[in-house]
Structure 1
Amino acid sequence: MRVVLFFQFLLLVRVSAEAFSAADLEFFEREVRPVLAESCYSCHSAEAKKLKAGLWLDSRASILSGGDTGPAIVPGDPDASLLIETVRYNNVDLEMPPKSKLPDAAIAALEKWVAIGAPWPDEPDDGVKRAGGFDLEGRRDEHWSWHGPEERELPSVEQRDWPQGPIDHFILARLEEAGLKPAPDADRRSWLRRVSFDLTGLPPTAQEVADFLADSSPEAHAKVVDRLLASPRFGEKWARHWLDLMRYADSYGHEFDYPIPHAWRYRDYVVRAFNEDLPYDQFLVEHVAGDLVEPRVEEGSGLNEAIVATTSWWLGEANHAPTDVRGDEALRIDNQIDVFSKTFLGLTVSCARCHDHKFDAISTKDFYALAGFLQSSRRREAYHDPDGRLSQGLSRLQDLQREAAGLLSESTGGGVEEPSPGAEVIESFAQGVPADWFVSGPAFQPGSQGPAAEATVALADEERPLVPAGVVHSGLFGKKQQGVLQSPTFELTEPEIHIRLAATGPVRVRAVIDGYFMTEYHQLLFKGTNLDSGQANTKGAFAWKTLGGDLRKYVGHRIYLEFADLGNGYLAIDEIAYRRSEKPEFTQQAEAGLKEALQPIFTEAAEVEQSLPAPVVTLALQEGTPENEFVHIRGGHKSLGDEVPRRNLTALGEEAFTVPPGASGRLQLAQSLIAEDHPLTARVYVNRLWHYLTGVGLVASVDDFGVMGEEPSHPALLDWLARDFIAQGWSSKAMIRQIVLSRTYRQGVVAAEENSADLIAQADPNNRLLHHFRVRRLPAEGVRDAILAVSGSLSDQHGGPSVLVHLTPFLSGRGKPESGPLDLDGRRSLYLAIRRNFLSPFEHAFDRPIPFTTIGRRTSSNVPAQSLTLMNDPFVLEEARRWARTLLALPASEERLESAYLAAFSRSPSAEERDLLRQFLSSQQEHYQAGPDDEQLWTDLCHLLINQKEFIYLK
């Protein structure tokens, strides 16, 4: 028995990383290793000054062999694992870490890690840190993806009549090298169905099938592709791919699942970008630094598209009540870097957060160099003026304000108040809006402030109190001038901040701590750091307001102040200080003669204001106070190491660009990514296109081009595609067109007869060489949209706010939204609201991913839940009934069967299938004791067709 246990132990110790999925290994690197490094390694690793309890926790082998009290874990059984017992604090004699219990999230991560078998990447497992173990230059030189795409010649092939373009030469050359033949072409109906779903996500109509079959010209396939690329449905289909990369959602998740404001506008931006074939280099720059480039105004919406792209940074999960605000910010930035590096570079840079990357040429300092770009940027609400009417009206209001200011200055003498001595002033606004403050929206703009040293006037009901110069305001001559004013980032040195302000209407005043932007969602935890509309409302008179209370907990933290006019009111700020100064209230009223002179100005201003439209608001990124980040030792934000300047990844040339003084450096980072000699950007993107069109990328690990990713199956083709993509102006449509018109894409799903089973098993068992086309299941959205299409319920409406998900009785919890209609008004699945805590059960059954990070390759499972969903989901049953009603409009049963098959499978039923369908209808007619035109009969038949594998699989 002991011998058996010993060999079982050896098997556990010797398990290779290859036994674990990439997702499990990533979970370990992101969720588990940081906990071990921060909370355990000081006593239980090679770095420990003195090893405690004989236990090493820095390698899998050491954890399994254990210390003085035995093995630390039992893979697959958390409850039997000593490590889990100690961190749970269930045994007073075994509580680790000894000083304080780990957060619940950290304990849950350790429990899950043990439950899934304790995944750990292959690495030296003796726990000893080897000198010079991290050779960045060596790793870069040895791995293919760090070297730029080479210029490749088309390979020669023997079967010269097969290739239709360059792609086919590369594919056929590899097949011939392996002794394989390409598969015969798919039949025309199958190809049409394949390309229609791949480009638009919808099946071809019966008329489109007939038109294609009737077109015998050499350009027939190209005509179809060009039609599909020009369809507005193309952008909807391909936006869904991109939204997976951006972990798009309409809510933040966590306990209350608060909504992400204006998220849908980013979704619609992506749809437009694909439909317009926005060059990918511009698309990339807009995502990284859209607030720093020339505006690109979309004709239909009037939005500055470049700024809307930066919404992508704010689509991640967010905790409304973190106990450690700085730690929460570190996690947010980690997620942003993870999404950025996987999406655009195909690299797992976040694995270097706690230590130098275990496999790739990425150092810990590289991670914190990127963190500095985000530390130097801020979340903001961007204001758009779609038709220009808002700008014109505000310009006129500013002119009227200056006229009034001139009259007031003559009457009052103007003058700027000086701050009182000893007030410890943070900002007095003596010269208006300071140059290093940040303004977003029409309110607070310098042009609306009036000349320095002149009084301005507030339209505050009928009294119109005068406001002294040396005050910044949100546009006191009009209540619709929404906007946000933010201070530079500074270190909080006192427990309270006092603000002398005057306000009416909905305004927001808050201290933003460590970049944390969700304080308004938790008034208990952040009560002292916010002034809501009620607290800030002074009815137009200046008064001191205090940010305090919980603010004392954040002395020593980085904060900035934010003042927001939310519309239909105004906000004026006179002074910000750590100590209040005694200032007289400014209550002077205008004399009768002055009021008479001002009245025409007031009247016109009121008329102009009445005509002002509300601005369109989107989430965005903007420049903040430039600052470098420090290395977080072992990923712990409370233990800081060296300061790291903002720069490129070392392996990509850290001197590739210089960050200008006063800038975040995001624009320079973005421009470096689109250099023609960049080794990753174009390769990663064209590989994604190949993956979406063929089922597997040339690099199968589409989000990881590093050592733990897979080698390219066709390195020469990948290089050729990348270089050709750049040469064609970074055009997504041109590259997609080239792929789907290739002979490779036209192959059938059955291998050539010449390829014996033994040869295939030896030369290409996983079809990586593409000796035939892959059978692929439709994604979750494709299944649902296909059902809507065949039933005739699919809506033609494009864009707009997300449609609420239809809630089943099993979807419950805090933050539960209202339920949407069963069919979501026939809208495409793209427009379904993605509430992180209330995901669509239908789409979840078909592997729609949970949006937590970049998902470039979805799971495609085949499980009983899918069959049960198609059989029992009320949505499917209702759409089958609607489809049946459409069929019943046709006079004869044979016409109905023909129409049903064309809609469902893009083909006519065979003679055998017709017989089976007739038998089915006869059986159901007898069962229901109904006539041949009974709605339930045909509903059952439509339901039957939806449940066929051919309905949800592409051949």
Structure 2
Amino acid sequence: MPEQLEFFENKIRPILAEHCYKCHSTRSKKLKGGLYLDNREQAFKGGESGPSIAPGQADSSLLYRAILYKEESLEMPPTRKLPDAVIADFKKWIDMGAPWPISNEPQIAEKQGINFEKQRKEHWSLKPINKPTPPDIADSAWPRNPVDHFVLARLEKAGITPAPEANRRVLIRRAYFDLIGLPPTPEVVAAFVAEDTSWDQIIEELLASPQYGERWARHWMDIARYSDGLGGFLDNRALPNAWQYRDFVVNALNDDVPFDQFIRWQIAGELTPNAPLSARAGTGFFAVGPTYNGDGGDAEATAAARAETLSDRVDTFSRAFLGLTVACARCHDHKFDPISIKDYYAIAGIFNNTSIADKPLVPDEIVKAYDNHQNKIKNVDNQIKKLNEKVKKEKREISNQEKKQLDEWKQERDALRKIAPPKYATAHGLHEKGNDNMHVAIRGDLRKKGEEVPRRFLQVISREKSFSKESGLLQLAEAVVARDNPLTTRVLVNRIWQWHFGRAIVRTPSNFGVIGEKPTHPLLLDWLATNFTDNEWSIKDLHRLIMKSATYRMSSRHISDNFDRDGENRLIWRMNPRRVEVESWRDSMLAATGELDLKLGGTPTNEILNSARRSIYATISRNGDRISSDPFFRLFGFPAPRSTAPKRIISTVPQQYLFIMNSPFFQKRADALAKRLTRESETNKSRIEHAYQILFNRQPSTNERDTGLTFLAQSNSRSAWNQYTQALLGSEEFRYIE
């Protein structure tokens, strides 16, 4: 899998190069233990002690046991134990099967160097984007807009007929979950089914809803590996103001800030010309990620921590905005893509000129007024301190005159404190601190300097000269959104498509490189990308375009003949039925019971399972195990925010059903729903019907209604109703959208 190879290149190979190659590679002056770790076949074969890697079995692998430092005769590297986070990466890598590129896979980083011009002409994602003409199709009645021409042309060529349009109940439920992550009310559904409101009206109402920004911010926060800090070893600090970045994203999406501007603010923040104060929170995109500290503070540990921090910045930046794995070129030219080691240090050099700082979210004059007032208080405090120290040093009693003076100063200080302006809000962000270039780090070790590399953009994309203005952040931002950059808009519209359809046009959304998948509909991707820039990078216009297409409005009906021809639905002959994310599932339960608190923004809550606020406002720890609600989120597929997450992993494990059956959270929601039904309906029959309308946006079938009535007739107690509502809330239908 491309993602697994990315993990190896980004997390494993750099560690091997930095800590192991000196003694265990073809370049070693003296090979130790007969073990090579720079070659796949030799590494798996092992050395004098036997095979070093047992794919899928980390605990049985000599390599893993050596870095654990639990066997005195088996401790590697010999100088010091690796950080716990790195050891965890090795365990994860080996347990997933120890993916390692095999020697016959395509590699472009040959000894003679990278032919950038050739790659620009040959690799699909690096070619210039030209707006294609929507293709002709036989069934001219089906398309609703140009999107459908591209989809239907592929279907007709394959002899596949698209699924019929979904019914209006399915459509409105789909729209609500897609745009705001919440179910429609029975009243809204009834009006839409009766055609009192149109599809276009529904879309506009949802795009105008404040909940839209919350829903789509959570998608982007996966890309930004958002957390409130609290990582593992060497990254243990809290980020108390990370929520300011979250609110920045919510507000920007609600305001439909052009996405090129949104990107500029996240890379360069207030350095962007005419940037609003809120843009100071934008570089939280980087600040909410890990910032490692050296263990013990020695030179080696400090350099290693800085190298890991820079790797995170480069990796998150390049995968999020460009769909490239630039961090894989940290120790050598990229094994597959036209990215050189100099490219890596050109980008890393920009981030090396920054540090994490708290950025004021108020005008500078307010900051100045606050600081001036605090200085007045501090000056009085210093006078008090000096007098007390003088008396103590002279070993005498304080005089009456001095006591009077102290009282006056204390009164002055107390008066100043009473009228002190409140501390202004701040956000974590990047602060420029220099304009130096970096040197290539030999084998990833920042202490071993190679050639100096000017700060610049990726050579395969831009022929521009080096960046010379301050850190280079603003020039980097402009290079990302430049019209001649073929990657950024392709990557973005592909992500939006994925979040609407469950699957992307390029199914490796953060890897548009050689080992990533090719687009299923390359012409559609390019048309969407160029149309996006034509419409001034408006995300909301892109939603309108997609959702008003016949493609989006298809049902998820299974058609055997189509399935036989295209079982993976790569040609998009139907809508993909999909499970909603854990956040929407939880929020929908609270909406169904009438408990949901729709308050926007603000500080996060540690106890989200005991809160009525939306899940986006939960405190999230980097390791996914520091907050009481972390296990709940992780159980249902929430990604650990240690690195950018391009898509959610859907899993079904027994523990999920144990949570549904036994957790206090679920039982409380069942009780609250039962109370609502009892309060709003008088008979069991009407309550059952009301429950189905609230939860599933439809009427129950005769069998469903009769089954419910039979169950409740056995014991028409509150306990029976709680069991019944718990079963409905835990049903697959409530968790899925068609």
Taking structure 1 as the reference length, what is the TM-score of the superposition?
A: 0.70
Q: Residues of 1 paired with 2:663 and 2:349: CA distance?
A: 48
Q: Distance between the aligned counterparts of 1:41 and 1:603, measured in 2?
A: 66
Residue 317 (1) aligns with residue 290 (2): yes
Of 661, 667, 675, which residue of structure 2 is paired with 1:871?
661
Match of 1:615 in 2: 424
Q: Does 1:788 align with 2:590?
A: yes
Matched with 1:888 is 678
Specify the SS of the correspondent of 1:332.
helix
Check whether the contact 1:136–1:363 (CA below 8 A) recurs between aligned residues. no
What code does the residue aligned with 2:566 have? D
Q: What is the letter of the counterpart of residue 382 of structure 1?
A: K
Give the SS at the match of 2:317: helix
1:877-908, Cα deviation, whole Å (9 max, x unpaired) = 10111111111112222221121111000001
Residue type at the aligned position of 1:270: V
> For 2:331, which of 341, 354, 360 is the aligned residue?
354
Match for residue 823 of structure 1?
A: 610
Question: Structure 1's 96 and 622: CA in aligned 2 closer, same or farther, altered over 3 A?
Answer: closer
Measured against aligned partners, the alpha-carbon deviations of 1:724-781 in whole angstroms (never above 9, x if no partner) come to 00011100000011101110011011145xx61xx633x4221011111111001010
Deviation at 1:329, TM superposition (A): 1.7
Gaps of 5+ in 2: 390-404
Task: Tell me which residue corresponds to 2:724.
Answer: 941
- Which digits, 9 at most, give the CA deviation of each residue in 1:285-316, with x for residues without a partner? 0001112124554xxxxxx1111111221112
Given candidates 254, 259, 264, the residue that maps to 2:238 is 259
Question: What is the DSSP-based 3-state SS (H/G/I as helix, E as strand, rest coil) of the residue aligned with 1:726?
Answer: helix
Structure 1 position 51, deviation (Å): 4.2
Which one-letter code corresponds to 2:552 in the other structure? Y
In structure 2, how many angstroms separate the alpha carbons of the residues matched to 1:57 and 1:306?
45
Cα distance in 1 for partners of 2:388, 2:340 equals 53
Counterpart for residue 527 of structure 1: none
Most deviating of 83-92 and 649-658: 83-92
Match of residue 618 from structure 2: 832
CA contact (8 A) 2:292 2:308 kept: no
Distance 2:81 2:211 in 1: 52
Q: CA RMSD in A?
A: 3.0
Compared CA separation, residues 949 and 885, structure 1 to 2 (3 A): same
One-letter code aligned to 2:590: L
| Alignment partner of 1:764 is 2:554 | no
Is 1:293 aligned with 2:272?
Answer: yes
Change in Cα spacing, 1:215 to 1:87, as seen in structure 2 (3 Å) is: closer
Instruction: Give the AA of the match of 2:205.
Output: R
Asked if the contact 2:56–2:98 (Cα under 8 Å) also holds between the matched residues in 1, the reply is yes
Question: Does the residue aligned with 2:563 lie in a helix, a strand or coil?
Answer: helix
Partners of 2:388 and 2:304 in 1: CA distance:
37
Other structure's SS at 1:744 match: coil
Partner of 1:904: 695
**Which of these residues, 354, 370, 380, is aligned with residue 347 of structure 2?**
370
Amino acid at match of 1:372: G
Partners of 2:438 and 2:456 lie apart in 1 by 11
Structure 1 residue 835: Cα displacement = 2.5
- Shift in CA distance, 49/257, structure 1 to aligned 2, threshold 3 Å: closer
Equivalent residue, structure 2, for 1:743: 550
- C-alpha distance 87-831 of structure 1, shift in aligned 2 (>3 A): closer
- For 1:803 and 1:604, locate their aligned partners in 2 and report how far apart those are by CA, in whole Å: 35
Q: CA deviation at 1:723?
A: 0.4
C-alpha separation between the residues in 1 aligned to 2:502 and 2:588? Answer: 19
**Contact conserved, 2:268 with 2:473, CA < 8 A, in 1?**
yes
Closer, same or farther: CA 910–708 of 1 in aligned 2, 3 Å? same
Q: What is the CA–CA distance in structure 1 between the aligned matches of 2:65 and 2:533, rounded to whole Å?
A: 55
Shift in alpha-carbon separation, 1:104–1:275, aligned structure 2, 3 A: closer
1:243 equivalent to 2:221? Answer yes
| Kept after mapping to 2: 8 A contact 1:656/1:672 | no
Query: What is the 5 A alignment of 1:686-701?
Result: 686-701=493-508
Q: Counterparts of 1:888 and 1:86 in 2: how far apart (Å)?
A: 62
Does the CA contact (< 8 Å) of 1:780 and 1:848 recur in 2?
Answer: yes
Alignment of 1:516-595 (within 5 A): 539=385
> Would you say the 8 A contact 1:184–1:751 is kept in 2?
no
2:195 matched to 1:215?
Answer: yes
By how many angstroms is 1:873 displaced?
Answer: 1.5
Residue 402 of structure 2 corresponds to which residue in structure 1?
Answer: none
Q: Residue 328 in 1 paired to residue 305 in 2?
A: yes
Contact 2:374 2:420 in 1 (8 A): no
Residue in 2 aligned with 1:560? none
> What letter is aligned with 1:325?
T
Distance (whole Å) between structure 2 residues aligned to residue 873 and residue 688 of structure 1:
34
Task: Give how far 1:161 is off.
Answer: 0.4
CA drift of 1:707 comes to 1.1
Q: 1:538 to 1:355 in 2, by over 3 A?
A: farther
Change (3 A) 1:126 1:606: closer
What residue is the counterpart of 2:451 in the other structure?
642
**Counterparts of 1:126 and 1:227, CA distance in 2:** 49
Q: How far is the alpha carbon of 1:148 from its aligned partner?
A: 2.2
Q: 1:271 to 1:639 in 2, by over 3 A?
A: same
Give secondary structure in 1 for the equivalent of 2:307.
helix
What is the distance in 1 between the residues matched to 2:137 and 2:694? 40
How many residue pairs get matched?
708
2:167 paired with 1:194:
no
**2-structure distance, mates of 1:145, 1:909:** 48
Do residues 776 (structure 1) and 585 (structure 2) align? no
Q: Cα gap change, 1:736/1:108 in structure 2, threshold over 3 Å: closer, same or farther?
A: closer
Aligned-pair CA distance for 1:616: 1.5
**How big is the shift at 1:48?**
2.9
Is 1:913 the counterpart of 2:680? The answer is: no
Q: How far apart are residue 202 of structure 1 and its match? A: 0.2
Paired residue type of 2:253: F
Pick which of 89-98 and 679-688 moved more: 89-98
In the aligned structure 2, how far is the partner of 1:390 from the partner of 1:214? 54
Q: Are the equivalent residues in 1 in contact too, given 2:288–2:428 (CA < 8 A)?
A: no
Counterpart AA for 2:290: E
Distance (Å, rounded) in 2 between the aligned partners of 1:710 and 1:311 = 30
Identity %: 40
Deviates more, 1:96-105 or 1:830-839: 96-105
Structure 1 residue 800: Cα displacement:
1.1
SS at match of 1:145: helix
Letter in 1 for 2:686: E
Name the CA shift for 1:922/1:389 in 2 (closer, same or farther; >3 Å): farther
Structure having the higher strand fraction is 1
CA distance in 2, matches of 1:539, 1:745: 71
Tell me, in whole angstroms, the C-alpha distance in 2 between the residues paired with 1:296 and 1:95.
Answer: 52
Q: Relative to 1, partners in 2 of residues 1:320 and 1:920: Cα closer, same or farther, differing over 3 Å?
A: farther
1:632 and 2:441 equivalent?
yes
Tell me how far apart the structure 1 counterparts of residues 387 and 119 of structure 2 sit (CA, whole Å): 65
Distance 1:114 1:210, change over 3 A: closer
Give a deviation string over 1:599-618, Cα, whole Å, max 9, x none: 9xx99997798163321222
SS of residue paired to 2:430: strand
Cα pair distance change 1:867/1:159, threshold 3 Å: same
Aligned residue number for residue 255 of structure 2: 276
Q: How many Å apart are 1:623 and its aligned residue?
A: 1.6
Give the letter for the 2:193 counterpart.
L
What CA distance in whole angstroms lies between the structure 2 residues aligned with 1:478 and 1:385?
A: 22
Change (3 A) 1:101 1:789: closer
Shift of 1:872: 1.6
